[in-house]
Amino acid sequence: MNLQIISDFHEEHHGHDIAPYINKDADIVILAGDISTGTTGVSLALDSAELHPSITHVVVFGNHELYDLDYAEYLALVNMWNDLAPNLHFLENRSISLENGIEIFGGIGWSNLNTPNHKELHERVQDFSAIDYYGKPVTIEDFRHFNNEYWSNAQKWFKTSTGKTKILVSHFPQSTALKHKQYEKNDLDYYFCADRDLEIKEAGEHGVSLMVSGHTHDSFSTSIQGVRQESRQVGYPFESNDALDAVGGLNSMIVI
Ligand SMILES: [Fe+2]
Ligand SMILES: [Fe+2]
Protein backbone atom coordinates (compact mmCIF):
# COMPACT_ATOMS: atom_id res chain seq x y z
CA MET A 1 0.00 0.00 0.00
CA ASN A 2 1.29 3.45 -0.94
CA LEU A 3 1.00 6.21 1.65
CA GLN A 4 1.36 9.90 0.84
CA ILE A 5 1.78 12.45 3.62
CA ILE A 6 1.05 16.19 3.36
CA SER A 7 1.02 18.73 6.17
CA ASP A 8 1.37 22.47 6.70
CA PHE A 9 0.05 23.15 3.22
CA HIS A 10 -1.22 26.53 4.52
CA GLU A 11 -3.72 27.23 1.74
CA GLU A 12 -4.58 30.50 3.51
CA HIS A 13 -1.26 31.91 2.21
CA HIS A 14 -1.28 30.78 -1.46
CA GLY A 15 -4.87 29.84 -2.30
CA HIS A 16 -4.09 26.52 -4.03
CA ASP A 17 -6.41 23.49 -3.87
CA ILE A 18 -4.96 20.36 -2.26
CA ALA A 19 -6.40 17.93 -4.87
CA PRO A 20 -3.74 18.56 -7.59
CA TYR A 21 -1.01 17.66 -5.08
CA ILE A 22 -2.41 14.18 -4.39
CA ASN A 23 -0.35 11.41 -6.01
CA LYS A 24 -2.76 9.36 -8.17
CA ASP A 25 -0.84 6.17 -7.24
CA ALA A 26 -1.46 6.67 -3.50
CA ASP A 27 -3.78 4.26 -1.69
CA ILE A 28 -3.90 6.41 1.44
CA VAL A 29 -3.14 10.10 1.90
CA ILE A 30 -2.66 11.54 5.38
CA LEU A 31 -3.32 15.28 5.71
CA ALA A 32 -1.51 15.98 8.99
CA GLY A 33 -2.85 19.43 9.85
CA ASP A 34 -2.40 23.13 8.98
CA ILE A 35 -3.93 22.49 5.56
CA SER A 36 -5.75 25.83 5.91
CA THR A 37 -7.61 27.79 8.59
CA GLY A 38 -11.04 26.85 9.94
CA THR A 39 -13.38 24.77 7.83
CA THR A 40 -11.57 25.65 4.56
CA GLY A 41 -9.30 22.67 5.28
CA VAL A 42 -12.42 20.49 5.50
CA SER A 43 -13.69 21.74 2.10
CA LEU A 44 -10.27 21.18 0.47
CA ALA A 45 -10.08 17.63 1.87
CA LEU A 46 -13.66 16.88 0.73
CA ASP A 47 -12.98 18.22 -2.79
CA SER A 48 -9.88 16.02 -2.99
CA ALA A 49 -11.70 12.93 -1.63
CA GLU A 50 -14.46 13.40 -4.25
CA LEU A 51 -11.92 13.90 -7.06
CA HIS A 52 -9.90 10.82 -5.95
CA PRO A 53 -12.61 8.35 -4.84
CA SER A 54 -10.22 5.37 -4.73
CA ILE A 55 -7.80 7.10 -2.36
CA THR A 56 -8.50 7.00 1.38
CA HIS A 57 -8.06 10.45 2.90
CA VAL A 58 -7.19 10.59 6.61
CA VAL A 59 -7.23 14.09 8.14
CA VAL A 60 -6.11 15.49 11.48
CA PHE A 61 -6.45 19.16 12.27
CA GLY A 62 -3.50 21.43 13.05
CA ASN A 63 -3.37 24.44 15.33
CA HIS A 64 -4.04 26.77 12.38
CA GLU A 65 -7.40 25.19 11.54
CA LEU A 66 -8.38 26.21 15.08
CA TYR A 67 -7.51 29.87 14.48
CA ASP A 68 -11.00 30.17 12.97
CA LEU A 69 -12.84 27.49 14.93
CA ASP A 70 -13.17 26.95 18.70
CA TYR A 71 -11.64 23.59 19.71
CA ALA A 72 -14.84 22.66 21.60
CA GLU A 73 -16.85 23.38 18.43
CA TYR A 74 -14.44 21.21 16.44
CA LEU A 75 -14.91 18.33 18.88
CA ALA A 76 -18.68 18.68 18.44
CA LEU A 77 -18.48 18.75 14.62
CA VAL A 78 -15.76 16.28 13.76
CA ASN A 79 -17.84 13.10 13.84
CA MET A 80 -20.46 14.67 11.56
CA TRP A 81 -17.77 15.41 8.96
CA ASN A 82 -17.01 11.70 8.81
CA ASP A 83 -20.32 11.28 6.94
CA LEU A 84 -19.27 13.67 4.13
CA ALA A 85 -17.60 11.02 1.93
CA PRO A 86 -16.89 7.29 2.36
CA ASN A 87 -13.16 7.77 1.69
CA LEU A 88 -12.71 10.79 4.01
CA HIS A 89 -11.90 10.29 7.70
CA PHE A 90 -11.30 13.00 10.29
CA LEU A 91 -9.53 11.68 13.37
CA GLU A 92 -9.41 13.42 16.73
CA ASN A 93 -8.23 11.02 19.43
CA ARG A 94 -9.70 8.03 17.67
CA SER A 95 -8.66 5.33 15.25
CA ILE A 96 -9.83 3.87 11.99
CA SER A 97 -9.39 0.36 10.54
CA LEU A 98 -8.58 0.24 6.84
CA GLU A 99 -8.00 -2.60 4.40
CA ASN A 100 -4.99 -4.94 4.69
CA GLY A 101 -5.00 -4.70 8.50
CA ILE A 102 -3.90 -1.06 8.52
CA GLU A 103 -5.05 0.89 11.57
CA ILE A 104 -4.48 4.60 12.01
CA PHE A 105 -4.94 6.57 15.24
CA GLY A 106 -4.87 10.34 14.90
CA GLY A 107 -5.40 13.70 16.51
CA ILE A 108 -3.93 17.16 16.82
CA GLY A 109 -1.75 15.67 19.56
CA TRP A 110 -0.74 19.04 21.06
CA SER A 111 2.28 19.33 23.36
CA ASN A 112 2.87 18.68 27.06
CA LEU A 113 5.04 21.86 27.10
CA ASN A 114 7.71 20.14 29.15
CA THR A 115 9.64 23.24 30.19
CA PRO A 116 9.31 25.35 33.37
CA ASN A 117 9.46 28.48 31.21
CA HIS A 118 5.72 28.68 30.55
CA LYS A 119 5.58 32.46 30.83
CA GLU A 120 7.84 32.86 27.78
CA LEU A 121 5.84 30.31 25.80
CA HIS A 122 2.60 32.06 26.68
CA GLU A 123 3.99 35.41 25.50
CA ARG A 124 5.67 34.20 22.31
CA VAL A 125 3.26 31.59 20.91
CA GLN A 126 0.30 32.94 18.94
CA ASP A 127 -1.85 29.87 19.71
CA PHE A 128 -2.46 31.19 23.23
CA SER A 129 -4.25 34.25 21.84
CA ALA A 130 -5.61 32.78 18.57
CA ILE A 131 -7.13 29.46 19.70
CA ASP A 132 -10.27 29.38 21.85
CA TYR A 133 -11.65 26.55 23.93
CA TYR A 134 -15.26 27.08 25.03
CA GLY A 135 -14.96 30.76 24.06
CA LYS A 136 -11.79 31.48 26.06
CA PRO A 137 -8.17 31.51 24.86
CA VAL A 138 -6.45 28.16 25.42
CA THR A 139 -4.17 28.03 28.44
CA ILE A 140 -0.91 26.22 29.20
CA GLU A 141 -2.99 23.80 31.31
CA ASP A 142 -5.41 23.18 28.41
CA PHE A 143 -2.49 22.32 26.12
CA ARG A 144 -1.07 19.84 28.60
CA HIS A 145 -4.52 18.36 29.22
CA PHE A 146 -5.17 17.94 25.46
CA ASN A 147 -1.80 16.20 25.05
CA ASN A 148 -2.66 13.86 27.95
CA GLU A 149 -6.02 13.12 26.31
CA TYR A 150 -4.26 12.29 23.03
CA TRP A 151 -1.90 9.86 24.71
CA SER A 152 -4.41 8.19 27.04
CA ASN A 153 -6.64 7.44 24.03
CA ALA A 154 -3.66 6.37 21.89
CA GLN A 155 -2.46 4.02 24.65
CA LYS A 156 -5.92 2.43 24.94
CA TRP A 157 -5.86 1.94 21.17
CA PHE A 158 -2.40 0.49 20.68
CA LYS A 159 -2.76 -1.84 23.67
CA THR A 160 -5.97 -3.38 22.31
CA SER A 161 -5.63 -3.00 18.52
CA THR A 162 -5.15 -6.18 16.51
CA GLY A 163 -4.12 -4.32 13.34
CA LYS A 164 -1.18 -5.63 11.34
CA THR A 165 0.17 -2.14 10.60
CA LYS A 166 -0.37 0.49 13.29
CA ILE A 167 0.20 4.15 12.45
CA LEU A 168 0.05 7.04 14.92
CA VAL A 169 -0.66 10.52 13.48
CA SER A 170 -0.43 13.88 15.23
CA HIS A 171 0.00 17.44 13.99
CA PHE A 172 2.50 18.22 16.75
CA PRO A 173 5.56 15.90 16.70
CA GLN A 174 5.77 13.96 19.95
CA SER A 175 9.55 14.03 20.51
CA THR A 176 11.69 17.16 20.95
CA ALA A 177 14.33 15.37 18.85
CA LEU A 178 12.03 16.21 15.91
CA LYS A 179 12.50 19.98 16.37
CA HIS A 180 13.34 22.06 13.28
CA LYS A 181 16.90 21.09 12.34
CA GLN A 182 17.89 24.62 11.35
CA TYR A 183 17.26 26.34 14.66
CA GLU A 184 19.30 26.25 17.87
CA LYS A 185 17.74 24.30 20.71
CA ASN A 186 15.51 26.59 22.83
CA ASP A 187 12.36 26.59 24.98
CA LEU A 188 10.09 26.98 21.94
CA ASP A 189 11.07 23.41 21.01
CA TYR A 190 8.79 22.30 23.87
CA TYR A 191 5.89 24.13 22.24
CA PHE A 192 6.59 22.78 18.76
CA CYS A 193 7.17 19.22 19.98
CA ALA A 194 5.81 17.25 22.92
CA ASP A 195 8.38 15.45 25.06
CA ARG A 196 6.91 11.96 24.87
CA ASP A 197 9.84 9.65 24.10
CA LEU A 198 8.74 7.18 26.81
CA GLU A 199 5.28 6.91 25.30
CA ILE A 200 6.77 6.54 21.80
CA LYS A 201 8.87 3.63 23.12
CA GLU A 202 5.73 2.09 24.62
CA ALA A 203 3.85 2.56 21.32
CA GLY A 204 6.67 0.77 19.50
CA GLU A 205 6.53 -2.10 21.99
CA HIS A 206 2.82 -2.44 21.17
CA GLY A 207 3.41 -2.65 17.43
CA VAL A 208 3.19 0.99 16.28
CA SER A 209 5.66 1.00 13.38
CA LEU A 210 5.14 4.50 11.99
CA MET A 211 4.37 7.95 13.37
CA VAL A 212 3.41 10.86 11.10
CA SER A 213 3.44 14.52 12.14
CA GLY A 214 3.86 18.11 10.92
CA HIS A 215 3.82 21.59 12.51
CA THR A 216 7.56 22.46 12.66
CA HIS A 217 7.80 23.42 8.95
CA ASP A 218 10.69 21.01 8.65
CA SER A 219 10.43 17.59 6.96
CA PHE A 220 12.06 14.39 8.14
CA SER A 221 12.41 10.67 7.72
CA THR A 222 13.99 9.27 10.86
CA SER A 223 13.46 7.00 13.86
CA ILE A 224 12.76 7.73 17.55
CA GLN A 225 12.87 4.91 20.12
CA GLY A 226 12.80 2.44 17.24
CA VAL A 227 9.60 3.92 15.73
CA ARG A 228 9.79 5.36 12.20
CA GLN A 229 8.97 9.08 12.05
CA GLU A 230 7.86 10.68 8.77
CA SER A 231 6.89 14.25 7.90
CA ARG A 232 6.31 16.06 4.59
CA GLN A 233 5.71 19.73 5.31
CA VAL A 234 5.13 22.54 2.82
CA GLY A 235 5.36 25.56 5.16
CA TYR A 236 4.86 29.23 4.38
CA PRO A 237 5.60 30.59 0.87
CA PHE A 238 8.81 32.34 2.04
CA GLU A 239 10.21 29.19 3.66
CA SER A 240 12.71 26.82 2.03
CA ASN A 241 11.53 23.44 0.70
CA ASP A 242 15.04 21.92 0.91
CA ALA A 243 14.10 19.56 3.77
CA LEU A 244 10.96 18.47 1.91
CA ASP A 245 13.01 17.82 -1.25
CA ALA A 246 15.59 15.89 0.78
CA VAL A 247 12.94 13.34 1.79
CA GLY A 248 11.60 12.99 -1.77
CA GLY A 249 9.24 15.94 -2.11
CA LEU A 250 5.49 16.28 -1.61
CA ASN A 251 4.70 13.70 -4.28
CA SER A 252 6.79 10.98 -2.56
CA MET A 253 5.15 7.93 -1.06
CA ILE A 254 5.95 5.45 1.69
CA VAL A 255 5.24 1.76 1.15
CA ILE A 256 3.39 0.30 4.14
FE1 LIG B 1 2.09 24.99 9.97
FE1 LIG C 1 1.04 23.87 13.14
pLDDT in tens, 189-230: 999 999 999 999 999 999 999 999 999 999 999 999 999 999
Q: Give 18-38 pLDDT, tens digit per residue.
A: 999 999 999 999 999 999 999
* CA 233 to centroid of ligand 1, rounded, Å: 8
Report the separation in Å between the CA atom of 7 and the middle of ligand 1, taken as the mean of its atom positions.
7
Q: Is the pLDDT of residue 246 over 90?
A: yes
pLDDT digit string, tens, across residues 84-143? 999 999 999 999 999 999 999 999 999 999 999 999 999 999 999 999 999 999 999 999
**Residue 17 pLDDT level (bands cut at 50, 70, 90):** very high
Ligand closest to CA 63: 2
| Closest-CA residue to 48 (of 85, 77, 12) | 85
Q: Compute CA distances 240 → 159, 191, 220, 252, whole Å.
A: 39, 21, 14, 18
Share of the chain above pLDDT 90, in %: 100
Which residues pair with residue 230 across a beta bridge?
A: 212, 221
For ligand 1, a single-atom ion, the residues with CB < 5 A are: 8, 34
pTM of the model: 0.98
Q: Do 225 and 201 meet the contact criterion of CB atoms below 8 Å apart?
A: yes
163 C-alpha to ligand 1 centroid (Å): 30
What values do phi and psi take at 6, rounded to 5?
A: -135, 130
What residues does the ion ligand 2 have nearby, CB within 5 Å? 34, 62-63, 215
C-alpha atoms less than 13 angstroms from C-alpha of 105 in its C-beta half-sphere? 27
User: CATH fold of 2-255, please?
Assistant: Purple Acid Phosphatase; chain A, domain 2 (3.60.21)
What are the residue ranges spanned by the domains of the chain? 2-255
66: number of Cβ within 10 Å: 23
